[in-house]
Amino acid sequence: LKTSPVGSGPYIIDPSSSAGSQEVFVANPNYWDKSKIKFKKITFKVMADATARLNALLSGQIDATLLDTKTSPTAKGRGFTQYLNNVDWQGLLMFDRAGKINVNLKNVKVRQAINMALDRPALLKAIGEGFGVVTQQVFPTYSAGYVKALDSYYKYDVAAAKKLLAEAGYPNGFTISMPSITAFTGPAKPALMAAQLKAIGITVDYTDESFATFFTNLLTPKYPAYWMQLERSGNEWQHINFLMSDTAVWNPEHYSDAKSASLIGQIQAAAPAARPALLKKLNTYIVEQAWFAPFYAAEANFAYNSKKVNVKVQPGNAVPYIFNFTPAN
């Protein structure tokens, strides 16, 4: 199965594909619904670099691709159709809420002060280059758990943040360790976030990680907090078990408290009609308790040649499903 996958969908892999450089799929002659087959052949070219993908799109080598904030304006300027979708959120994950690695984060006032120290519009402009929407919650707008008022729950206020730190017992601030990958982000982005926390007395001690060790050390966990970009799923139960439950992948300390555990249990058992109100309660509680410090909802930039293909993009996905592509003619 690793070398000759067997599939039952409208397309099957062509065994002549060059694994690692491109994958070719052809129409399945035995598929039960011929109306679902829109192409004789679909070729996926493997291109990790966004500039290479842009050049391939501009030259006609490919018909559709995911771009980034640096390459998207060029595609737009050359007349390619774009779909902008806020599928991810970027910000701080403060998973050491039990204070096992850094006791300071156990105090909710410290986590709230960090939220108040962040100039989110400035971070969006500098880090996201303006591609995104400022937010303070991890639930997306198309989720039943979304609460509009939470997007502005914490006011950017350095003086008030310092006061909260003093009330928490840290009038002179403290030091917190975090990882970074400057080979990927460059030095400016980590420095900007560190400068905003420094303004309230929190010193960030960065360890420059390699790609080989980064995720292993994050999920061990080695650090009390870190800056990440993760999905904002519209499937609320999936989102909870991705980020918030005591078994969630991105809750490596398996943190839980009585109220969050109770709400998650109620959501799991609730009838569909009762679930939205409970999801909103959970979202509000998580924001109030400052489990995270979101900066903004990042914008995914999917570009395509509308002269060649028609594309429908569903909420929550950066890249459309295969069945959402049809020939333009």
Distance, CA of 279 to CA of 270 (rounded, Å): 10
pLDDT category at 182 given cuts 50, 70, 90 is confident
Q: Per-residue DSSP letters for 36-82?
A: G---SEEEEE----HHHHHHHHHHTS-SEEEE-TTTHHHHHHTT-EE
- pLDDT surpasses 90 at 21: no
201: nearest Cα among 290, 122, 91, 110: 110
Helix (H, G, I), strand (E, B) or coil at 136: coil
The reported pLDDT for the residue numbered 312 is 87
- pLDDT surpasses 90 at 2: no
- pLDDT surpasses 80 at 32: yes
Average pLDDT, stretch 24-38? 93
How big is the chain by its Cα radius of gyration, in Å? 22
Average pLDDT, stretch 255-266? 97
- What is each CA distance from 55 to 75, 116, 178, in whole angstroms? 9, 41, 35
- What is each CA distance from 59 to 55, 71, 139, in whole angstroms? 6, 14, 38
> Which structure tokens are listed for 311?
């594309």
- pLDDT surpasses 80 at 276: yes
pLDDT category at 6 given cuts 50, 70, 90 is confident
- pLDDT surpasses 80 at 138: yes
pLDDT tens column, 208-245: 998 888 889 989 999 999 988 898 887 999 999 999 99
Distance, CA of 163 to CA of 288 (rounded, Å): 17
pLDDT tens column, 85-129: 888 899 999 999 999 999 999 999 999 999 999 999 999 998 888
